[in-house]
Structures are given as C-alpha cells and as structure tokens.
Amino acid sequence: MGPLRIVILIILFYILYRLIVSKPGKRERSRGGNEPFRGTQPHDILEEDPVCHLCIPRRQAITVNSGGETFYFCSNAYRKRFQEQQKEQ
C-alpha cells in the first residue's frame, strides 16, 4: 500500500468515526443568534397585579380566583385590598 492510500483510509475512518460518535442533540440546536433552542420553555410568565400594576412572575404571585378569572398579586396586602374592592362592588 502506498502512503496516499494510507492517508485516504485514515481520513475515511475518521469521518466514519465522527458520524458514529456525534451526538444527535447538536444537530437540533438553532443556528440563529436570537432564537432559543428548540424544545425549551420560558422560565416563568409575568402577570400584572391589578392593584399596584407591578409585574410579578406567576410562580411567585399570590392568586385569587374571582368570577372565573385568576388574579395575581405581589403581596397579601394588595390581595386583601382587591378582595375588599370586590365586596364593595
């Protein structure tokens, strides 16, 4: 075997090795700079407190169900104020 054949065989074995060992997850990633990876979810959704109008993460908010609708609050004080306003109406 000549030296050229050995080099070609080494290159072919390397390419075959990379095809077998490569991780499939790498091909699924997005190539765009601002695009998220496929299959990821946002960490949390922001909700607006109806009393103070502050946006808070849904997981950290205090909730009240009223009239078939869920309201999100940043504190118990605003939740109580909202409930008192609802009783007055």
Residue ranges and CATH numbers for the domains of the chain are 46-88 (2.30.170)
Which residues have a Cβ under 8 Å from the Cβ of 76 and sit 6 or more positions away? 62
Closest CA to 64 of 77, 45, 82, 85: 82
Per residue in 21-73, pLDDT tens?
876 655 555 455 555 555 555 678 899 999 999 999 998 999 999 889 999 99
Mean pLDDT of 6-20: 90
Q: Phi/psi zone of residue 54: left (φ > 0), alpha (ψ -120 to 50 degrees), beta?
A: beta
- Half-sphere exposure of residue 50: CA atoms within 13 angstroms, side-chain side: 16
pTM of model > 0.95: no
List 72's β-bridge partners, or say none: 63
pLDDT of residue 1: 65
